[in-house]
Amino acid sequence: MRSKDARFDGWFFTAVLTTRIYCRPSCPVAPPKVENMRFYPSAAAAQQAGFRACKRCRPDASPGSPLWNHRADSVAKAMRLIADGVVDRDGVPGLAARLGYSVRQVERLLLAELGAGPLALARAQRAQTARLLIETTTLPMAEVASAAGFASVRAFNETVREVFALSPTDLRTRQRPAPHTPGVLSLRLPFRAPLRPDNLFGHLAATGVPGVEEWRDGAYRRTLRLPHGHAVVSLSPQADHVACKLALSDLRDLSIAIARCRRLLDLDADPVAVDEQLRSDPLLAPVVDAGPGRRVPGTVDAAEFAVRAVLGQQVSTAAARTHARRLVEAVGEPVDDAGLTHLFPTPSALAALDPALLAMPESRKIAFRALVEALADGSLDLGVGADWEKARADLLALPGFGPWTVEVIAMRALGDPDAFTPTDLGIRIAARALGLPDTPAALVRRAQAWRPWRAYAVQYLWATGDHAVNRLPA
């Protein structure tokens, strides 16, 4: 905190007893006396202890803690589920059911590690959503309260005053909404520097499904299927943030859409920690130094990505996009947008598809049908609260699924930062060029030193090749 290190924003929060304010570590104000400082592991814990958010550094808007993305334990799963709106939709009992615990166990786990229970954590998320809507739209406050998930306008007013020490009207007066396209929210998604955008946005653009994704005017655009409706999002990399424009059919999905965009771009990662670990390998270090801050491209829908991984087995990127486009045109839901036409089909819609329409080898048809049926009936869970190792085992049990497909899904759909694809041809070519072992078994042994960040090592190795996924489109 004394060095105002922005890398730790979101890891913890500092509260000051004399002012009753809590800040992020990089807050630009003069640091308080040590005896007046208290530290909290979450914004919700600081709020619950009676502190309000600093108006200068806005700690409620800091990047999320990277712990919840690279950990696979119950607390990390709970945090990912809360960010995805499970508590707002299904309550704490719904969260507990997904984790396989009792409500009391879930509350005890979160209180022990985060200093706040699931309701307080969800309340802090609602407060941040409310602030975004207050400051970036001209919606009436009653509509803001409903969209942010508050049960009443009174609860909305009380929470905003308690968290920000300002009324909703005062918040809007201090930050008048900038002119914007009607129906479109303009947001800034923060990240921990550095961020290397070329492979991140290049990968999404090069593998994009026509009608669902596109690259236009320096931005990656795509449709999103959300709990209350759909959305179209535009994401473009800037020097210190990712510019996000969201057109939502239902504003109640705002916080969920933001969480999914952050997972898509891996914005809560700690690139300094990742790169330090990978630099410990002298053969990998030059690649890391040449382009530090690479992220793992994720997904906004794990089921969608798993289907696309099967479509991409043993074919080119162009062929995979063609297969996906045909599915979208056949059973995808239409949307009204100037450049995008459909939502990606649901597993249920794909399971009902006539196999004769699938222009692929019989073995891949079998794998495709096994996957979509398992996703449709719920026997395969790839959601944000999924158990990574169980999901791997369930995928491997399906016909036509080998280690490469499973690890690619674990890397990009499940978000496992240690997923690794030693049999991938691009990885083996890159390894050989760098002097690393190029046989899968030997490469796995060498990669033990890269753990728990082998998925990031994959990005650095892929980046050595001359492929469209490594370049921002013109």
Residue in the structure block whose two tokens are 């013109």 = 474
Which of 404, 324, 310, 309 minimizes the C-alpha distance to 361?
A: 310
> How, if at all, do strands 21-23 and 52-53 pair?
parallel
Give me Rg for the CA atoms of the chain.
Answer: 22
Cα–Cα distance measured from residue 372 to residue 364, given in angstroms and rounded to the nearest whole number: 12
Beta strands in 269-369 (DSSP E): 333-334, 342-343
C-alpha span between 456 and 433 (Å, rounded):
18
57 is catalytic: no
Give the chain's length: 474
End-to-end CA distance of the chain: 40
Q: How far apart are CA 377 and CA 68, in angstroms?
A: 28
The dihedrals phi and psi of 354, each to the nearest 5 degrees, come to -70, 120
Question: Does residue 461 contact residue 431 with C-beta atoms inside 8 Å?
Answer: yes
Query: Is residue 344 within 8 Å of residue 232, measured between CB atoms?
Result: no
CA nearest neighbour of 301 among 336, 338, 350, 252? 350
State the catalytic residue, choosing from 60, 88, 268, 424: 424
Beta-carbon count within 10 A of 102 CB: 12
Q: How far is CA 231 from CA 113, 181, 212, 259, 272, in A?
A: 34, 15, 11, 13, 33
Distance, in Å, from the CA atom of 297 to the CA atom of 284, rounded to the nearest integer, reads 20
> Alpha-carbon distance 446 to 436, whole Å?
8
CB atoms within 10 A of CB 37: 15
Whether the CB-CB separation of 359 and 342 falls below 8 Å is answered with no
424 belongs to the catalytic site = yes
* Type of residue at 342: H
Q: At what angle do helices 118-136 and 86-99 cross, to 10 degrees?
A: 150
Encoding tokens for residue 160? 């905003």
- C-alpha 389: how far from chain center: 20
Element at 39 (helix H, strand E): strand 37-40
Helices 74-83 and 254-265 cross at an angle (nearest 10°) of 120
The catalytically annotated residue of 9, 23, 261, 266 is 23
Active site residues: 23, 424
